[in-house]
Amino acid sequence: MKIRKLFKRAAAFALAAVTALSAVPATTALAAGDIGTISFTHTYDGAGNAMRYNSSANIGGHTAGGTGEYKYRMYVDGETAFCLQPGVPLKTGNTLAKASSNTWNALSADQKKAVGLALLYGYQGNIGNLSGSDDEKWLATQTLVWEFVTGCRNATSPYSQTSTTVYSLHFGSNYANSGARAAYDQIVSFMTRHSTIPSFMSAGKKDVTKELAYKDGKYSLTLTDSNGVLSEYSFTSSDSNVKVSKSGNKLTITSKKAIDDKARITATRNNTPTVSSGAKMIAYGDPNLQDVITGVENVDTMTAYINVETPTGTVALKKTSEDGVVAGISFTIKGDGFNKTVKTDKDGNITVEGLFPGTYTVTEQSIDRYEPQKTQTVTIIGGKTSTVTFSNTLKRGSLEVVKTSEDNLVDGVKFHLYGTSLSGLAVDEYAVTDKNGLAKFENVLISGSTPYTLEEVDTAIRYVVPASQTAPIEWKKVTKRSFTNILKKFNVTVLKTDVETGKKPQGDATLAGAVYGIYKGEELVDTYTTDENGQFATKYYICGNDWSVREIAPSEGYLLDTTVHHVGAEPIRTNLINLP
């Protein structure tokens, strides 16, 4: 053993010397807790012999191993570590950044989980249950880590080996490393066993449901485990009335009463290795060096499930509605000796369990805003869930608007109907008249106590905008409303005065007899003559921007007023003009 220790120290010194002579790569300064310093030692089998590589291989463009080369064990800050990149160089004294491994980050979730399981059942978590020397247990675990990282072993149960490339680096005819190989076989067996569940159960990917048989006043079911692992699991039930017992490879499930819906039987594997909470897996990396990991994380305890149910049936009701209101709606379910009123939950669901097989009727309460629902029938089958769906449609009615106008132009007039319906939903709809002046609002939600507002929009400028109207909408009825467009009109009253006196004429002059014309553009439409008071009033004309009043002939004693007085732009009943 003295020779072994001397050899170990000499090797460590040699590695340190190699490191000292190597170029140091440029690095970014990191805090002491953010980096790990690498060191190596030789590995020895149970007889004290230094272990060597059995062969070499090109993996990912790097040469790993080499027949007869010594197999070194690595550490990070004195803690046992495992290589992630076979053949990538790393020397004693190199430093790697914590949580910076690109190799580790690139692994799939299944690969990471498989590496964690190998460490848990290998050196890091299960060392006391493995055979061989400390170094042999480490080498066995390292082999599996490489296999999972390189894809030489499947990362999902049953973790089958897909290539012997990594395996042959450590085990073979040149250097068998038999002690490490025995520990490797044990870890593989532990991992495979870890994922083996009772044959009649599911690991959760696909639920298994069995029905309990009723006999002699109780429900029971006996299942046989063909995988032979029943003794390695403990069992619990989600229903306190359901009991579970095991004998050999048989599991018996019993219940003295019918189960509400289903009971879930959970099997939990016993004696799964655990590690301390401080043994967290950490991956160290450097783009120019080999990445490594230390520590291990607890994997999820292996569990399996089976659901059991009793041969009563269940009705599952699903409620939908046009306005989205589905909570708190009452339904009455009736059957032979059964009559129960239940309400929907916030999602519109009702589940009634423990129903004996037969035909049941399901009736929804009447609600004003919905069209009446027909009673439905549903057949209940023992051990099954029968589904019934109710979908409410909101009540609707119609509105017809008849349009008339003074100039008989009724096509293309737009109407707006708006307000809040009985259901609380907003109504905001438009309709346009056809050539007959008819606009239709169809399938409109019925109104509540407050009727909707109906108004004409985009009224042509030639019309006076009609007042809005109220319009209640009733279920399956047609509400009728009518609108008439009145043309915008104006008239003119003229009062002629003396420009100097402001009122009465002077001398022999008179205000009577002045002739004025009503023009549309440059076209003379009508003429009017002032009376003895210098006044006249016109009839009504349709509004426009091109109307004007002009003096055509002055009264006795006055000059012609050439001013053009524009009128008619606004729908004012009277345009009053004082003219000199």
What is residue 9's predicted lDDT score, i.e. its pLDDT?
34
d(CA 205, CA 73): 39
What is residue 277's predicted lDDT score, i.e. its pLDDT?
63
| Cα torsion through 110, 111, 115, 121, rounded to 10 | 40
For 45, the token pair is 């089998």
First to last CA, the chain: 138
d(CA 401, CA 406): 17
In angstroms, the Cα distances linking 80 to 75, 134, 141, 298, 328 are 5, 11, 11, 17, 62
Assess contact for 552 and 528: CB atoms under 8 A: no
For 519, the token pair is 């023009």
- H/E stretch holding 339 reads strand 338-343
Single-letter amino acid code for the residue at 221: L
d(CA 55, CA 168): 6
Assess contact for 221 and 249: CB atoms under 8 A: no
In angstroms, the Cα distances linking 396 to 121, 169, 371, 390, 393 are 69, 80, 9, 19, 9
**Is the whole-model pTM more than 0.75?**
no
Assess contact for 136 and 45: CB atoms under 8 A: yes
Write out the E strands in 9-78: 35-42, 56-59, 62-65, 72-76
What is residue 301's predicted lDDT score, i.e. its pLDDT?
76
For 461, the token pair is 């400028």
For 456, the token pair is 């004409």
Phi first, then psi, for residue 492 (nearest 5°) are -130, 135
Q: What is the DSSP letter of 127?
A: G
Closest CA to 41 of 74, 65, 13, 16: 74
What is the torsional sign of CA 162, 165, 166, 171? positive
Assess contact for 340 and 375: CB atoms under 8 A: no
Helices (H), 100-233: 102-106, 109-121, 123-126, 134-150, 165-170, 178-194
The total number of residues written for the chain in this structure: 580
d(CA 430, CA 178): 88
d(CA 171, CA 175): 6
Give the other-Cβ count within 10 Å of 185's Cβ: 13
For 102, the token pair is 């690109």
Q: How many helices (H) and strands (E) does the chain have?
A: 7, 40
Coil, strand or helix: which one is 579?
A: strand
Write out the E strands in 95-164: 95-98
d(CA 23, CA 15): 14
For 78, the token pair is 């004195």
What is residue 508's predicted lDDT score, i.e. its pLDDT?
87
Beta bridge mates, 161: 153
Angle at 262 between CA 260 and CA 264, to 5 degrees: 130
d(CA 558, CA 345): 93
Closest CA to 301 of 195, 225, 185: 195
**Per residue of the chain (580 residues), what is the pLDDT tens digit?**
333 333 333 333 333 322 222 222 333 333 445 899 999 999 999 999 999 999 999 999 999 999 999 999 999 999 999 999 999 999 999 999 998 899 999 999 999 999 999 999 999 988 999 999 999 999 999 999 999 999 999 999 889 999 999 999 999 999 999 999 999 999 999 999 988 999 999 887 678 899 888 777 678 899 999 999 999 999 999 999 999 999 999 999 998 877 767 899 999 988 888 777 667 788 888 888 988 888 877 677 788 999 998 777 899 999 999 999 999 999 999 997 799 999 999 999 999 998 876 789 999 999 999 999 999 999 887 778 999 999 999 999 999 999 999 999 999 999 999 999 999 999 999 999 999 999 999 999 999 999 999 999 999 988 999 999 999 999 999 999 999 999 999 999 999 888 888 778 888 899 999 999 999 999 999 999 999 999 999 999 998 889 999 999 999 989 999 999 999 887 754 455 555 5
What is residue 7's predicted lDDT score, i.e. its pLDDT?
34
Give the other-Cβ count within 10 Å of 10's Cβ: 11
